[in-house]
Chains A and B, each alone.
Chain A
């Protein structure tokens, strides 16, 4: 069974740090790019970050750039999100999600695309509060 299980969500004070983990099983982990997506309470989905199959390319939403770092350990089938300088607005349910492929170049547009997210975990909750 293809599965993603997130962990590491806790209550943390503003300015604090946290590392989320996502354990993958049931598929060849290092064949796919991986995402983090978050959802604030009662709000919509917000894309946070993506990492390529080998960890060589990473992308971030402007709202977390410079504060969050995505990484992966293919030997452990695991994805991570290091979150620093946390703010109240980072309070959310954090999902990891598997892409259906890896990053590819769109030559005509000089951009990079992926394929969409076909597997999602159940999420881990991060609360930033004093």
Chain B
């Protein structure tokens, strides 16, 4: 089993801020990592896959980086619609798993 540590669990920020979320694996997963955004009462939506590839239709202020065990999601200029919970997911091996989530709230 691959253990995933996502941090922080809560992030308070203001519109226009640059924010970063970290996801660390207990073992290397190459670049087989995705990031999802979930808003209250809604299903998750794919933002980034293969660690750094932006899903079609996702704004370019979102970016992902990393490989191996350490990964980062960055939102370059936080917009009002970005206040949500974000999850990383490894799809390198079974059982697949999600990080614990990062709630981005208004400061």
Contact = CB atoms under 8 A, between A and B. Distances in A.
B100 A116 contact: no
A60 B95 CA distance: 6
Contacts of A61: 95
B87 interface: yes
Q: Interface SS of chain A: helix, strand, loop or mixed?
A: strand
Given A45-B101, A117-B34, A111 B49 contact: no
A47 B96 CA distance: 6
Give the dominant DSSP class at B's interface. Answer: loop
A62 interface: yes
Nearest to B91: A114
Interface stretch (A8-16, A21-29, A71-79, A118-126): A118-126
B49 A44 contact: no
A44 B87 contact: yes
Contact of B32 (A35, A47, A113): A113
A60 B94 CA distance: 8
30 contacts: A35-B96, A37-B44, A37-B98, A44-B99, A44-B100, A45-B38, A45-B87, A45-B89, A45-B98, A45-B101, A47-B97, A50-B94, A59-B95, A60-B95, A62-B1, A95-B43, A100-B49, A106-B93, A111-B94, A113-B32, A113-B93, A114-B91, A116-B34, A116-B50, A116-B91, A117-B34, A118-B49, A120-B44, A120-B45, A121-B43
